[in-house]
Structure 1
Amino acid sequence: MNTSELLDDHDAVGLAGLVRQGAVTPAELLEAVVTRIEERDPTLRAFVSTRFEAARAEAAAELPDGPLRGVPFAVKDLGCDVAGMVTTEGSRLFADAVAERDGVLATRYRRAGLVVVGKTNTPEFGKNASTEPLLHGPSHNPWRTTHSTGGSSGGSAAAVAGGMLPAAHANDGGGSIRIPAACCGLFGLKPSRGRVPDDHGLSALAYPLSMAHAVTRTVRDSAALLDVVAGPLAGDPHAALPQPPAGSFLASLDTAPARLRVGFATTNADGRDAHPAAVRAVERTAALLAELGHHVEEGAPVWDGPATGRALGQVMAAATHVRIEDRLAALGRELRDDDLEPFTRVIHDRTAAMGAQDLVRALQAVVRIGREVAPFFDSHDVWLSPTLGVPVPELGVLDTSNPPSMFARAAELTWFTSVFNVTGLPSASVPAGFDEAGLPVAIQLTGRMGAEAQLLRVAAQLEEAAPWPRQAPWPPPVAG
């Protein structure tokens, strides 16, 4: 059996099935993934560290008999500690911060039988919608290496779309699962607030806005991985969300969605149109959903776009500020000029001047915006929109060494995504074709709180009706 071809022909659920059948061993799968990483990562720069020998020892031993036993997996170098590995968070300040133990996510991944092979690239503290940290350098889009993978889970997206492995951990504080999924032609679900626990368990401000999950090639892999990580920790600050009626998210896919009320729009909260290829993708998807029997009409939730950006930025910046200060305290020194990228340094300095009243008002805005958006889902089950308001950008467009440019440009990539971090609603990016330049285009599906199973079902329905490529061609096409 050609194990390299298995990586092209099967998703994570499929590979786990082959392992259960005895058609391939975990060790054989791992070697195929290691070969792919060694062959392709020098071009794509998805990984920042690997643990091949430790993974080999695990794959050769008795892995936990979980639902994804023997499947190689990668974790983002932010928000997922793996014992003995550095968690750099994309920052020079954390370049030697070795994790003493597995975090809750790594623990759950291991219990599922996954074999962690390495950590993937991320912008500094996830503060960029493109993955181009100074510490590790940029990741490159497998569909066009001159272009961004998106951020902040861009390394994971490059690894999966680049054919190195079927799925990878990601997290999303303003679009950081959905934007890389859109840029790289993958499926990416941001779960509901409280569905997946925070890995560190101490970021009580940022945690409600940033949720962990994965980028995957197939909808069913996303469902299977959500089953692995979903569920609160004792003492979590949010009430546990109900489990899907089918008993698991993967089992939910066995039933087609009921007739849904779908609203769609192609403009952002300020009335600005998305780029033409995204508009066409939404219109095609709206027509397809109608053909599939859903009630589809134009409509959109209403929210204050600028206030959303301010609230999200202030709440998450406060948590990052504390993270930096705690690191400096542990190191026993002051902040140095080369510790942080210029954009992060500006945010850090501004946050130092933030008062308690500013933070409270930001938290009040989070509640207010959630209440502005929620009524739309009284009359609609799903909102269909573009994922990105602009085409996939070239590398260098979002340049953290130029803070004024970052503040001017970064928000364009989060027009349609960041509001659902503020509201906590589940939201997924679904591949929906390509633009004239041959770069991926995606649509976004958003539902009411706790409705991940419904979103997964309708996404699977679209996947069956309008299949997308599982990965980019290799070698990557030459820009022309």
Structure 2
Amino acid sequence: MDTAELLDGHDAVGLAELVRTDQVKPAELLDAVVARLEERNPVLNAVVSTCVDEAYRAIEAGLPDGPLRGVPFAVKDLGCDVAGMASANGSRLFAGDIAERDGILARRYRAAGLVIVGKTNTPEFGKNASTEPLLYGPTRNPWNTAHTPGGSSGGSAAAVASGILPAAHANDGGGSIRIPAACCGLFGLKPSRGRVPHDTGDATFAYPLSIANAVTRTVRDNAALLDAVAGPVLGDATLAPAPPGSFLAALAEKPGRLRIGFATAAADGTPVAPAGAEAVRRTAALLAELGHDVEESAPHWEMSDVVAVLGQVMGAAVGAQIEDRLAVLGRPLADDDLEPATRWQYDRLATASVTELSRSLRLAEKLGRQIAPWFDEFDVWLTPTLGLDVPELGWMDTTRLETMANAGKMTWFTSVFNVTGLPAASVPAGFDARGLPVAVQLAGRMGSEATLLRVAAQLEEAAPWPRQAPWNAGA
């Protein structure tokens, strides 16, 4: 099979089946991905470092007989340590921080048989809804290279949507799986709090708000990758409700008749972009045709409360990470260590008290208890993923602090589920008048990832979406 037939015609689960039945060799899959990297990555800047030689050696040494054996895979340069590679977090301060060993997630990906080929771009510490770090430069959306692929998992999303890779690791602390999935026409699920362990176990990446999974072209790939990394590590502080066995196997069952509420405005009543609102109404009608009970309804919360929790909790975590890095380097913070937006937040939180952090954590708990009862009446909440159309690069620029308020507009519907820990997924739902992707979000009660995956699979079957951007749109 040639590169196009392999990578354009099969998802990760399909490629693994080709390997299992000896129709293709893992090295042939890697050859195809390397060819795509050389052709497309210079345009997109999605993958910022590679370990291709190590990947070939891993294949030659013999891969584990896991369910995704032989499938090439990339991990985000944030929250996933890979031995011998920089864990730069999109930051110049961490550019020389080489991981001595694989973290928990890399070990689990390798055990599933995946072949790690490189790391994908991310904004500094994942603190932007667009992927434009000063360290590596901007990543471009393969549907239109003048536009953002979203953030903070924008490198992963661009690599997958462009056909470089079938799937890639991502993580989400305020929408960082779902926003890039929405911008790039992919499926992305943020799991329930505690479903996937933090990679290094030291809570540096905004725990308990952030969690890892993947961006994928198909729902079944996302389920298979969640199977690969789900499950606690002994000593984890938070455990998600027990899953129904394999998430991939759960897709064999229909979701049954569900109660689905939907909304087309933000929590404060602000209307969303017309394309997003229309996508919700269209999806609501389709879900009703599929046999679900659908009505307009929404839980209530104050958006300012969510912003306050995110800013305080994630900011404190990043601040600790910065100070720990400076202690290792044995020097004070230099002017060019951090991007202006990160430095502003670091300086602002330097005077914050532990009392303020405690109040933010209490507010997060209050929001969870305020929103969760809505899911006693409804099984799923349907919203736009984004409140606005996919913006151009530069609309969220960390060197111009006045533009960073725009990043918050990208998280109107996503960040509340990081604060509450509830699962939520972005599902492709068509295109706007400019030809850029539009998406809807499905959210559910704690531990209901299988339900969200089943509903998403119903939508995928009833209204299939393009697996990737035509490359001439990205060239």
TM-score category, normalised to shorter length: over 0.9
Q: Which residue number in structure 2 is paired with residue 169 of structure 1?
A: 169
- Matched with 2:375 is 377
Q: Which residue of 2 aligns with 1:368?
A: 366
Residue in structure 2 matched with residue 340 of structure 1 by the alignment: 338
- Which residue of structure 2 aligns with residue 454 of structure 1? 451
**TM-score normalised by the chain length of structure 1:** 0.98
2:355 aligned partner: 357
Q: Which residue of 2 aligns with 1:211?
A: 211
Distance in 2, Cα, partners of 1:50 & 1:98 = 13
Which amino acid is 2:266 matched to? N
Counterpart of 2:286 in structure 1 is 288
How far did 1:200 drift?
A: 1.5
Question: Could you tell me which residue of structure 1 aligns to residue 276 of structure 2?
Answer: 278
Unmatched 5+ residue regions in structure 2?
Answer: none
CA contact (8 A) 2:192 2:240 kept: no
Q: Which residue number in structure 1 is paired with residue 115 of structure 2?
A: 115
Q: Counterparts of 2:300 and 2:119 in 1: how far apart (Å)?
A: 38
Instruction: Give CA-to-partner distance per residue, 1:53-77, whole Å, 9 cap, x none.
Output: 1111112231000000000000000
Counterpart contact for 2:427–2:456, Cα < 8 Å: yes
- SS of the equivalent of 1:375 reads helix
| SS of 2:471 mapped into structure 1 | coil
Matched, 1:74 2:74: yes
Deviations 1:411-435 (A, max 9, x none): 1000000000000000000000000
Partner of 1:165, secondary structure, is coil
What is the rounded CA distance, in whole Å, between the counterparts of 1:464 and 1:82 in structure 2? 36
Counterpart of 2:222? 222
CA distance in 1, matches of 2:353, 2:203: 18
| Distance in 2, Cα, partners of 1:168 & 1:222 | 10
The CA deviation string for residues 287-319 of structure 1, in whole angstroms up to 9 with x for no partner, is 000000000000001111011111111001101
Secondary structure, aligned partner of 1:16: helix
State how 1:124-163 maps to structure 2 within 5 Å. Answer: 124-163=124-163
8 Å CA contact 1:205–1:315 kept in 2: the answer is: no
1:195, distance to aligned residue in structure 2 (A): 0.1
CA shift digits 1:441-472 (9 cap, x unpaired) = 00000000000000000000000000000000
1:333 and 1:322 map into 2 onto residues whose CA distance is: 15
**Corresponding residue for residue 423 of structure 1:** 420
In the other structure, the counterpart of 2:328 is 330
Distance in 2 (alpha carbons) for counterparts of 1:109 and 1:477: 29
Q: Pairwise CA RMSD of aligned residues?
A: 0.9
Task: Give the length in aligned residue pairs.
Answer: 475
Partner of 2:264 in structure 1?
266
1:192 corresponds to: 192
Contact 1:26 1:60 in 2 (8 A): no
User: 1:274, 1:102 → 2: CA distance?
Assistant: 42
* Moved >6 Å (runs of 4+): none
CA apart distance, 1:403:
1.5
Distance in 2 of aligned mates of 1:417 and 1:473? 28
Q: Is the 8 A contact 1:431 1:443 kept in 2?
A: yes
For residues 235-294 of structure 1, the C-alpha deviation after alignment (integer angstroms, 9 at most, x for no partner) is: 0001342121xx200000001111000000011111001100000000000000000000
Preserved contact between residue 258 and residue 380 of structure 2 (Cα < 8 Å)? yes
1:31 Cα offset (Å) = 0.3
SS of the aligned residue for 2:132 comes to coil
Instruction: Give TM-score scaled by structure 2 length.
Output: 0.99
